[in-house]
């Protein structure tokens, strides 16, 4: 067993699970703010395409551009904080799974973190690790529960990454209105997919946290460490 997150007894994932859920909720809120900012830009572009001009319209364009830039910075910060909080929870549930059913864990423990960042591998390693944690956390040990929620979540995660790459373009005042319109549509798509993925991630965190907490409480002779 790897010493990276090796433990001799399971520890409650409830506290870290609550933090992960709260941070995922923050990402959803920030995504909604970004959608609002994009719609503000979209609206003023529509006016420009309709023939509106003058200093008033230009000031609206600049204001919308500033709001969009702010939304982008806030979104990046929220994602960084969320990733840190989520990984803390993920490491905890992976360590617990090692105690519940070490034979179910086919990968070294350090992949619980590295798997999210390894290029290419991050498209399927996190899902694989999550499913192994999921199965080890069921009762009895190794019991196979439906993987539908995890599969839906991971599908949306991958789509979110793709949509984010497509939407990783920035509105510019000196772009043509048509070009900015296309950028905004890609950005709106990326935020919409990310919102749904975050909702499913919350459901995964809640379900897996409940499974582990119940298993810890019901486990024969297994003390709860907090």
pLDDT in tens, 101-146: 888 888 999 999 999 999 989 999 999 999 999 999 987 655 567 8
| pLDDT, tens digit (0-9, with 9 covering 90-100), for 50-76 | 666 667 777 887 888 889 889 989 999
Q: Which residue has the higher pLDDT, 75 or 43?
A: 75
CB-side neighbour CA atoms (13 Å) of 42: 14
- Predicted local distance difference test score (pLDDT) of residue 161: 82
Q: Is the pLDDT of residue 152 over 90?
A: yes
DSSP classification of residue 3: S
Average pLDDT over residues 196-208: 97
Q: Is the pLDDT of residue 85 over 60?
A: yes
Q: Is the pLDDT of residue 80 over 50?
A: yes
In three-state secondary structure terms, 128 is: helix
Cβ atoms < 10 Å from Cβ of 65: 19
CB environment 179-213: b (16+ within 10 A), e (fewer): ebbebbebbbbbbebbbbbbebbbebbebbbebbb
Of 69, 94, 88, 74, give the one whose Cα is nearest residue 18. Answer: 88
Q: In this structure, what token pair is assigned to residue 75?
A: 């979104």
- Predicted local distance difference test score (pLDDT) of residue 223: 43
């Amino acid at each position: 067993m790897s010493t990276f997150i090796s433990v001799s007894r399971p520890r409650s994932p409830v506290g870290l699970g609550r933090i992960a859920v709260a941070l995922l909720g923050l990402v959803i809120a920030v995504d909604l703010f970004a959608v609002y900012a994009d719609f503000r830009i979209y609206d003023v572009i529509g006016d420009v395409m309709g023939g509106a001009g003058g200093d008033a319209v230009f000031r609206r364009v600049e204001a919308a551009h500033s709001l969009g830039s702010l939304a982008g910075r806030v979104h990046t910060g929220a994602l960084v904080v969320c990733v840190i909080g989520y990984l803390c929870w993920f490491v905890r549930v992976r360590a617990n799974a090692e105690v519940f059913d070490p034979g179910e864990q086919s990968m070294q423990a350090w992949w619980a973190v590295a798997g999210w960042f390894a290029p290419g591998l991050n498209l399927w390693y996190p899902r694989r690790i999550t499913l192994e944690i999921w199965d080890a956390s069921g009762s009895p040990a190794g019991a196979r529960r439906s993987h539908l929620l995890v599969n839906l979540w991971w599908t949306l995660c991958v789509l979110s990454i793709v949509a984010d790459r497509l939407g990783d373009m920035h509105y510019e005042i000196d772009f043509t209105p048509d070009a900015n319109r296309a950028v905004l549509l890609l950005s709106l798509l990326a935020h919409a997919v990310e919102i749904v993925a975050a909702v499913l991630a919350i459901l995964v965190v809640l379900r897996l946290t409940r499974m582990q907490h119940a298993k810890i409480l019901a486990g024969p002779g297994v003390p709860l460490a907090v």
